């Protein structure tokens, strides 16, 4: 087919990707943005099939059928609480596909002129390194999220020196391949070394840092795809990969700022080092008050404004539907209800948003940190479900705390705070939360879904 027509079509596809990505920036336009992005990808596939008959259409049809069956099965079977694992796997598959496609492209162009072959080789090396790191790093992230790796952070002596050595080895092998382009064994050695590097890079990262790592791996999958686009001389793959890479990196930076951490700190692994500060007994200066569903229901009956703060505990207990029913019931009684969403609540970017969307909570009720914090002083009841570090006031009041400087949701400024939690155990940072012992706080100990359902029953029967 005419190359000009194909490139013009790719330009239109790129516009759809950009507009679709822009639409995803706001809940009101997210659905339309998703449709535009999907349409762009469909057109990109069609144009590529018309442009390049690398294999027979029968082979492509079989591959599409197999992939569609696997994708549909996963979409139907996967639980929303396991969506972070799903995202990690999809990131990894994107990186792995880039590795093999770049390797095939390098082999296909082995008879090209030396200058052209060097161009293909450099792009293939980049795709091999980034794709392999993405694939194996994503598998480790999946294993941690799925609790197949029980240790939150796996470390051993000399780990970072080994990582540096592997990175240097991958670079050296890549240079060898550039100097001897026909030596394709070097490419797979680059992939092997980079695979080991991907494993060791993610192993020391703590479980609470997985939202950042998932965003970073998403960025890496895009960069690997862009590098593969240079190998294949495919403009739309370069553009799409660059968009994913850039947006993923921006999201990574947003997540780091939300945790008051640098990306380097996250990659080193573990929580921020504890500083010498107040002891646990000094933090729990008040008396922890355990409440009952009846007491919480009475508070809601008297409230005019309620803010619900979901955390990972809501995901673990799969309480999102019960929480949605509670919000619907309160709104039906004329009570103003909003959801305050912290950027790193849960185990992946937007985890709480995804769970609440599954429960059909209206998008306009979901407020980010900057929107929610100014309203807490006018809030009668703040209901915290399974959140901990993201509502710990020590981040704001104690400069010696490991959480110091981390932006939090200011739920302690509400008139009354209800915390649904299994115990008083601290969050990932290992810092006790004085909010639990505050005079205005009532603790509702137990499973998130069970406690919300108990409150709902009292409200309905009352």
Active-site annotation, residues: 389
Q: Is 158 left (phi over 0), alpha (psi -120 to 50) or beta?
A: left
- Asked if 297 and 458 count as a contact pair (C-beta separation under 8 A), the reply is yes
- Counting every residue, how long is the chain? 462
Q: Which residues pair with 290 in a beta bridge?
A: 443
List CB contacts of 282: < 8 A, sequence separation 6 or more. Answer: none
Only one residue has tokens 């470390």, namely 155
- Non-local (6+) Cβ contacts of 442 within 8 A are 289, 290, 291, 295, 296, 299, 416, 417, 418, 419
Residue 133 Cα distances to 93, 106, 270, angstroms: 11, 19, 20
* H/E element, 219: helix 210-232
Please give the radius of gyration of the chain, using alpha carbons only, rounded to the nearest integer: 25
Q: What are phi and psi of 222, to 5 degrees?
A: -65, -45
Q: Which residues face 419 on adjacent strands?
A: 384, 443
CA distance 72 to 60: 18
């Amino acid at each position: 087919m005419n190359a000009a027509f194909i490139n013009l079509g790719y330009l239109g596809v790129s516009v759809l990707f950009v507009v679709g990505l822009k639409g995803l920036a706001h809940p009101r336009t997210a659905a339309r943005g998703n449709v535009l992005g999907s349409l762009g990808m469909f057109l990109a596939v069609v144009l590529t099939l018309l442009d390049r008959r690398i294999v027979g259409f029968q082979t492509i049809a079989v591959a599409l059928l197999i992939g569609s069956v696997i994708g549909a099965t996963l979409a139907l079977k996967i639980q929303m609480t396991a969506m972070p694992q799903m995202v990690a796997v999809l990131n990894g598959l994107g990186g792995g596909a880039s590795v093999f496609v770049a390797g095939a492209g390098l082999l296909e162009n082995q008879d090209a002129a030396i200058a052209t072959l060097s161009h293909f080789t450099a792009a293939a090396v980049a795709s091999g390194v980034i794709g392999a790191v993405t694939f194996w790093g994503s598998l480790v992230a999946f294993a941690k999220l799925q609790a197949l790796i029980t240790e939150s952070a796996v470390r051993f002596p000399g780990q970072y020196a080994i990582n540096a050595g592997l990175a240097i080895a991958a670079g050296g092998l890549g240079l060898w391949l550039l100097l001897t382009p026909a030596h394709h064994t070097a490419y797979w050695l680059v992939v092997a070394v980079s695979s080991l590097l991907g494993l060791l890079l993610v192993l020391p990262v703590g479980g609470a840092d997985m939202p950042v790592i998932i965003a970073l791996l998403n960025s890496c999958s895009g960069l690997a795809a862009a590098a593969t686009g240079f190998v294949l001389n495919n403009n739309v793959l370069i553009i799409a990969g660059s968009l994913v890479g850039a947006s993923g990196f921006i999201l990574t930076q947003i997540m780091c700022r939300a945790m008051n951490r640098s990306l380097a700190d996250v990659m080193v692994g573990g929580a921020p080092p504890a500083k010498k500060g107040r002891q646990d007994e000094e933090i729990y200066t008040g008396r922890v008050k355990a409440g009952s569903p009846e007491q919480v229901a009475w508070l809601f009956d008297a409230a005019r404004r309620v803010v619900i703060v979901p955390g990972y505990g809501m995901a673990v207990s799969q309480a999102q539907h019960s929480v949605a029913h509670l919000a619907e019931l309160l709104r039906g009684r004329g009570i103003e209800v909003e959801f305050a969403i912290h950027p790193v609540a849960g185990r992946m970017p937007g985890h709480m948003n995804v769970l609440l969307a599954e429960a059909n909570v209206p998008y306009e009720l979901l407020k980010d940190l900057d929107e929610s914090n100014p309203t807490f002083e006018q809030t009668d009841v703040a209901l915290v479900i399974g959140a901990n570090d993201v509502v710990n006031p020590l981040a704001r009041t104690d400069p010696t705390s490991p959480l110091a400087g981390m932006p939090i949701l200011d739920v302690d400024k509400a008139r009354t705070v209800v915390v649904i939690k299994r115990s008083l155990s601290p969050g990932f940072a290992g810092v006790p939360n004085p909010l639990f012992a505050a005079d205005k706080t009532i603790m509702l100990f137990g499973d998130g879904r069970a406690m919300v359902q108990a409150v709902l029953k009292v409200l309905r029967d009352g």
